[in-house]
Amino acid sequence: MAVGVLLAAAPSHGQTFDPRYPVCMHVYSGANGGGGEWYDCSFTSLPQCRATASGRAATCDLNPYYPFTAPPRPRHRRSG
Protein backbone atom coordinates (compact mmCIF):
# COMPACT_ATOMS: atom_id res chain seq x y z
CA MET A 1 0.00 0.00 0.00
CA ALA A 2 2.86 2.40 0.79
CA VAL A 3 4.33 1.87 -2.69
CA GLY A 4 0.96 2.70 -4.25
CA VAL A 5 0.78 5.93 -2.30
CA LEU A 6 4.29 6.89 -3.38
CA LEU A 7 3.56 6.14 -7.03
CA ALA A 8 0.32 8.09 -6.93
CA ALA A 9 2.12 11.10 -5.43
CA ALA A 10 4.99 11.05 -7.96
CA PRO A 11 4.81 13.72 -10.70
CA SER A 12 3.82 12.54 -14.15
CA HIS A 13 6.37 13.15 -16.92
CA GLY A 14 4.30 11.77 -19.80
CA GLN A 15 2.14 14.81 -20.50
CA THR A 16 0.82 14.68 -24.04
CA PHE A 17 0.21 18.39 -24.53
CA ASP A 18 3.11 20.84 -24.23
CA PRO A 19 1.67 23.91 -22.45
CA ARG A 20 4.27 26.22 -24.07
CA TYR A 21 2.59 26.19 -27.50
CA PRO A 22 -1.00 27.18 -28.33
CA VAL A 23 -1.59 24.72 -31.20
CA CYS A 24 -1.25 20.93 -31.43
CA MET A 25 -1.27 18.61 -34.41
CA HIS A 26 -2.93 15.24 -33.82
CA VAL A 27 -1.16 12.76 -36.10
CA TYR A 28 -2.87 9.48 -37.01
CA SER A 29 -0.57 6.77 -38.30
CA GLY A 30 -2.96 3.96 -37.42
CA ALA A 31 -3.04 0.46 -38.87
CA ASN A 32 -0.90 1.03 -41.97
CA GLY A 33 1.82 3.03 -40.23
CA GLY A 34 1.83 0.82 -37.17
CA GLY A 35 2.93 3.72 -34.98
CA GLY A 36 -0.41 4.59 -33.42
CA GLU A 37 -1.23 8.24 -32.98
CA TRP A 38 0.38 11.14 -31.16
CA TYR A 39 0.22 14.87 -30.57
CA ASP A 40 2.85 17.34 -31.71
CA CYS A 41 2.37 20.54 -29.70
CA SER A 42 5.09 22.69 -31.21
CA PHE A 43 3.08 25.17 -33.27
CA THR A 44 2.47 28.85 -32.68
CA SER A 45 -0.54 29.23 -34.99
CA LEU A 46 -3.25 27.19 -36.71
CA PRO A 47 -2.01 28.15 -40.24
CA GLN A 48 1.51 26.97 -39.34
CA CYS A 49 0.15 23.66 -38.06
CA ARG A 50 -2.18 23.19 -41.04
CA ALA A 51 0.69 23.75 -43.47
CA THR A 52 2.66 21.00 -41.72
CA ALA A 53 -0.36 18.69 -41.54
CA SER A 54 -1.19 19.15 -45.25
CA GLY A 55 -1.19 15.81 -47.06
CA ARG A 56 -0.91 13.83 -43.83
CA ALA A 57 -3.45 12.01 -41.72
CA ALA A 58 -3.48 14.79 -39.13
CA THR A 59 -5.66 17.53 -37.67
CA CYS A 60 -4.80 20.77 -35.88
CA ASP A 61 -6.52 22.02 -32.74
CA LEU A 62 -5.99 24.54 -29.99
CA ASN A 63 -3.97 23.16 -27.10
CA PRO A 64 -6.34 22.66 -24.14
CA TYR A 65 -3.45 23.15 -21.71
CA TYR A 66 -2.10 26.40 -23.16
CA PRO A 67 -2.80 29.28 -20.76
CA PHE A 68 -4.82 31.45 -23.14
CA THR A 69 -5.53 34.85 -21.66
CA ALA A 70 -7.79 37.40 -23.19
CA PRO A 71 -6.14 40.75 -23.80
CA PRO A 72 -7.54 43.51 -21.64
CA ARG A 73 -10.13 45.68 -23.28
CA PRO A 74 -8.90 49.16 -24.00
CA ARG A 75 -10.60 51.82 -21.96
CA HIS A 76 -11.78 54.84 -23.87
CA ARG A 77 -11.69 58.05 -21.95
CA ARG A 78 -14.00 60.75 -23.09
CA SER A 79 -12.69 64.19 -22.83
CA GLY A 80 -15.12 66.84 -22.94
pLDDT in tens, 5-18: 444 444 444 567 88
Residue that wins the pLDDT comparison between 73 and 39: 39
What pLDDT is recorded for position 40? 94
7 SS3 class: helix
Cα separations (Å) of 57 from 31, 46, 61, 79? 12, 16, 14, 56
CB 29 within 8 A of CB 57: yes
Residue that wins the pLDDT comparison between 74 and 71: 74
